[in-house]
Structure 1
């Protein structure tokens, strides 16, 4: 296996919660972890997200090997790359293919598969609240760009490839009318068809319950989507931001997915949001959760009917060099020893 290194020139465009979480903890050091290649312990999770960012380019081959082995040791069988780059905005960037090749090759050595997040178009944030015509223009362009990327990508030919991930998170706040839901469904339906043609499987997309006041319904949104699209929902538990009450908020959606027998995953958030001076998401602060809370989340996740329990994210919140991450990792392994 040939490891590669190549510098990434990455800027920070308009931030959302996942962008900020990534920037706060980009490429932490994975500490003193070893595992037997191809073996994994039962820790309650079967997958994890991974966000590649600027400082990840500083890792050498041995550091990548330790990182991937640590995730495999935590039970990770599927690794979901949040995205392969950001397009649009002032400073677009794409992760170099040699770096992705390293991730794929090492994942395969550890018995893991890799789900690839499509390039994220920064115009998404404007499109969310845009008038119908502008929103339709975004959908058309992003669909064309996604199709172009999938058709030219080498990753479906890699033995560790596990399909595509659509990097736009869905909530009920911005999709509160039947008209908006239908436009979204038409776009996602076409995108899902292209992804299935490329990979032979339905693409995944994350969804969560927004605590912002709205007339929209997460359940109704997904009823509309499931009636006309082939998607694999990845339902975030939301505990890291909204607390335990959020489990009740997503339960109607989980019931609907089980009723329809739709394959889905659930995300267990391994961080906890900290108070900030602003309340608009631009000053998001977080730290690793304690294992007592995570254990409750994992116990809940086992009851949902999800095919996979996915961590957001083992790296950095349970595998970083921060003292709280160290403690979460140690307590977690001790609890599943």
Structure 2
């Protein structure tokens, strides 16, 4: 999940949001100093997985091992972020069915991300409404075609679909653009009817705007049945971002909406650019993760989904294995 490193334009936090941040900072202070505290205020329920072109060369056993690791961490929900990446590559139907079979054996349920077009952020940056409309029409057609041809929705490990375009309040501030977005989402929702849940992720952009995230979704959710997955933004903006998200959480609770929180397992490295093109990150510390789980648990979210166990808790980068081992020790002590 690539989150542009925008400057956080602060909003006035609600009292509830401030209490979340104070609580989270208290947990962070407790767990990041002194001996490691073997406890979890709440465990992760699942994780995202971005499949890259190089992953297509993996033996099937590697996919099975990866899913088994998720289950070992008690992450029983896997969101495959996309099934294809533009014209560059895609996961074959046999591989998708194998993933479902491996997940079933491990006690994991899988949500499939629709085909993804990597030109999404460039389209938004252009500011051209005609290009925006054409993009949404094209990816809508691709998404509907995938949904209509899908042969996996009856698999017992299948959980639903994920729309892989992350939505923020700045990029969709104009009412005319919101109408375009709502039309695209209605089109996908109509084609996705059947077993499983249709979800999409959202985040609070730090670019100043009078538009609000809660206002955006209040309007869209009245006509489109979607499950929101709210990115906590801590990997970029720190724990204080929970206060900025407090109005959205309050709106979702008032609506009785079923929603998830995406708990970021990384810390963004400093970069001279703010467009997300140079995004790089290190694994979070266990103390910060404990703080996130403590605060996220109070939002009313049904599930806490880590972004992402792979690679930030696997052996591919410095610090990831340490985070995994610390998390497993805390998990064994109970949440």
TM-score, normalising length: structure 1: 0.83
Aligned to 2:301: 306
- TM superposition shift of 1:118: 0.3
Aligned to 1:85: 84
- TM superposition shift of 1:19: 11
1:215 to 189, 210, 220: 210
SS in 2 for 1:203: strand
CA contact (8 A) 1:48 1:312 kept: yes
1:237 aligns with 2:227: no
How far, CA to CA, are the matches of 2:135 and 2:273 in structure 1? 29
1:109 to 94, 100, 105: 105
Matches within 5 A, 1:162-311: 162-195=159-192, 197=193, 199-311=194-306
TM-score, normalising length: structure 2: 0.83
Matches within 5 A, 1:119-134: 119-128=115-124, 129-134=126-131
How far, CA to CA, are the matches of 2:220 and 2:244 in structure 1? 19
Report the CA distance shift for 1:92/1:19 in structure 2 as closer, same or farther (over 3 A).
farther
SS in 1 for 2:85: strand
Structure 2: runs of 5 or more not aligned: 6-39
1:159 to 156, 159, 170: 156
- TM superposition shift of 1:42: 10
SS in 1 for 2:221: helix
How far, CA to CA, are the matches of 2:312 and 2:219 in structure 1? 34
1:335 aligns with 2:330: yes
- TM superposition shift of 1:193: 1.9
Aligned to 1:317: 312
1:140 to 132, 137, 142: 137
Moved more, 313-322 or 282-291: 313-322
CA contact (8 A) 1:232 1:264 kept: yes
Aligned to 1:57: 56
How far, CA to CA, are the matches of 1:103 and 1:200 in structure 2? 18
Give the root-mean-square deviation of aligned CA atoms.
2.1
Structure 1: runs of 5 or more not aligned: 1-15, 21-40
- TM superposition shift of 1:201: 4.0
CA contact (8 A) 2:178 2:216 kept: yes
